[in-house]
Amino acid sequence: MTGPGSKIGVAAVLAVLGLLATSPARAETQFLLGGGGALVPDYPGSDDYEILPIPALRFDWSSDGAAPPATGYSGQFGLVDAHLAFPDGVDIGIARLSTPSRHFTLRLGGGYRFGRNDDENHALDGMGDIGGQGLTRVSIGSEPANPRGIGVHFGLKYETDITNETGADTFSLYVGNKFALTPRTTLNVTGTATWADADYMQSYFGVSDLQASRSRYNRFDAGAGVADVGLDARLNYAFTDHWLVFGSVGYSRLTGDAADSPLVDKEGSADQFRATTGFAYRF
């Protein structure tokens, strides 16, 4: 993801993920606005990094019926909640099953997957550009029902490219735990894994005959499989009722054909690191 806009977008996604750990699990309405800086690879699989400024924007809304039951189970259908973030997109909760301690929510949404420009890193010379892609997604997640969201959270997300730039589909799995270190400080540790279809893998890690004729690489066919696994840790400290500071560090390991790609194996690295830090104001 080498274009300036795409790299800022990746960094902003990381910032938004950091802000998520500060949000009350079932606040009726909440708006977060902030920014900071991030250290990210300049394309997926690169071993070159850049420090970038990042914006962070998030709006969360939940219906009056979002509270968990005192005992047993309760179900809710229709508009359950809504989450809007830049640049991650929008997710709308349409169904929820709740227990006294947990919510299980089905959400529909849309977003944007950033592309890649071949003029930002010499490793991409001759590979051509990948345009950004509009996405639709379906996700199901489970979160603790307590007000701060302390405890285990997990879920599965499916995304597909509806703009036909790549035609790619991905499935992402996450499992994590949010800890309350102090009344104003939380630590959120999350593990992730992403499966990608052949269209995604070939677009970002493959080398076609045309690309081979224009670049230093031989043809490489990247097939479907687990593209990466990772771990992120995010620390958030609310030093007033409205102002907070956040920071995160993350590591992911490219696997399968993504790791074997000449863009990664010869010119980059399967080990991908990232970090963000910044401030935000909670309205």
pLDDT digits (tens, 9 = 90+) for 4-53: 334 434 433 443 444 443 343 344 788 999 999 999 999 999 999 999 89
Domain membership of residue 107 as a residue range: 4-282
pLDDT score at 87: 67
Provide the 3-class DSSP secondary structure of residue 84.
Answer: strand
Between CA 60 and CA 149 the distance in angstroms is 14
Taking 70 as the pLDDT cut, the residues of the chain under it are 1-27, 66, 87
One-letter amino acid of 249 = V
Task: Pinpoint the alpha helices (H) of 158-278.
Answer: 198-205, 209-214, 256-260, 262-265
Nearest to 46 by CA among 131, 116, 123: 123
Sign of CA dihedral 16, 232, 268, 203: negative
In whole angstroms, give the CA distance from residue 45 to residue 10. 14
| 22: Cβ contacts below 8 Å, ≥ 6 apart | 32, 186, 236, 238, 244, 246, 280, 282
- What 8-state DSSP symbol labels residue 269? -
CATH code for position 278: 2.40.230
Predicted structure pTM score: 0.86
For residue 114, the SS3 value is: coil
How many independent structural domains does the chain possess?
Answer: 1
Measured CA to CA in angstroms, residue 109 lies from 84, 85, 196 at distances of 10, 11, 19
Phi/psi for 59 (5° steps) reads -125, 130
202 residue type, one letter: Q
Vertex 109, ends 108 and 115: CA angle to 5°? 145
Alpha-carbon distance values, 54 to 89, 121, 161, 275 (Å): 16, 21, 25, 12
95 CB-contact burial (10 Å; exposed 0-12 / middle 13-18 / buried 19+): middle
